[in-house]
Structure 1
Amino acid sequence: MKQISTTALAKVYDVPPKELFTHLVGLGYILKQDDGWALTELGVSNGGEVKESSQYGQYIVWPEDIDLNKEPANTKLVTSTAIGKSFDLSANKMNFILSELGWVQKSLKGWVVTEQGKKQGGVQSEDKKSGIPYVRWPESIIDSTSLNETIGHVKGVEKSPSPETIKTTNEESVEFREKFEAKHRSADGHMVRSKAEMLIDNWLYMAEIVHAYERKLPIEEDVYCDFYIPTGKVYIEYWGYENDSKYLARKKKKIELYNKYGFNLIELQDKEVQNLDDVLPRLLLKYGVQAY
């Protein structure tokens, strides 16, 4: 039986490769692993194999006639209602938490899975009677570290980091926080680390844009943004200290993570901070955030 790559299989089904990868995740055949994909036992039982190429490294192949128009009985997908019950939260509250994580977005009615949500295994569905869209998730989403951390923050329950988390915390980030103490008070009461951050925070406050300061990114890595705007799911980073080699290395790592996860990022330097009234409204509007 002829075996073909996932990209080639997407051509057979006449769908974009990204859409097929998402569908395979929803079926439980593959899992996202680092920057690639891992084949599950269920994927193996349905004909998937891992091949090695000197040019492309490891990749997954499938039988050319594999039937993807099915949903294995042992792959359980759950709704936000079921997830909410696990955390004693309503379905509505859970959807807003999933939205805050950037995994779903509000439609005219119902909810639509985002690219980030697809990476978590989210599968777009719709009510057969009303046509209202909703998202189903692998049951394992309940164990997601990012989801549990966000729910903990919403409930006001902070968990102490595990020894492993403490051990793997970015030492450069800790050193940066200790070196640049948050001692500048902005208009909304946030204590920030520099005058430039204070100007940005004050601008957002005066523009009546809801924002968070030093919010942890909804990823496994222990990384914090400068500012986060829930409307539009936008992150803002102010890059200063350009003559500090350790700071530049930290900046490079953060940008790589923003690119890796496809987050909406606005980058500001001193020249933009001196002209926020002209710069920020234009940049925010690209992500649907209107100022003034």
Structure 2
Amino acid sequence: MESSGTQQLSMPAKELFAALMALGLIEKDGAAWILTKEGEKRGGAYKESPQYGKYIVWPEDLSLQPPNKPANKPSQNLRTATAIGKAFELSANKINFILSELGWVNKGLKGWLVTDQGKKQGGIQAEDRKSGIPYVRWPDSIIESKSLIETIGQVKGTGDTQEGQTPDSGVNSGSEAVGFRDKFEAKHRSADGHFVRSKAEMLIDNWLYMAEIVHA
């Protein structure tokens, strides 16, 4: 399939196809070039010719310059599971398990793979340069995710700890600490003998035990 527009753009056909493909306007389908949805949006269309057969035509004002990023937009910092864990005082393994429970990552043979749902949360697949083990990087905003915060609250046994509490009950800090331990007693026993404060944490502890991952 040919592409009309070489003359208007003063560019050799080979370079034109490369530029159009780099912009995501066309793609290869066997031996032929076909329009992508983005190519159709930019005005690309099919035409038929007795001499050339089916080919693609483009508007004369088509720009092959890549779209510029907003000048004042700050670059997005990305976090690993380890960095997320530090924010919530949890290990990277527990964070990855929580992300898996949310449907944002899947466990691979080695490492973790981002899912389509995870991509919607801003997850980006990455790979360790030395080991090749896959992992996922997340935008800073992930630590503000309501779903993540609620799940972590359940894991840590603090999901509803503020409900029904008074700001100042006149009890000293030592009594408050004892009261907290009484209220959230570590009474759930996991498969490896650990006692934890919530069923959610017990599930994670059991999963880590079955996966033979050393954990605290």
User: Normalising TM by the smaller chain, what interval?
Assistant: 0.3 to 0.5
Q: By percentage of residues, which structure has more helix?
A: 1
Please, what TM-score do these two structures have when normalized by structure 1? 0.33
Please, what TM-score do these two structures have when normalized by structure 2? 0.43
Q: Choose between structure 1 and 2 for higher RCO, CA contacts under 8 A separated by at least 6 residues.
A: 2
Bigger Rg, which one? 2
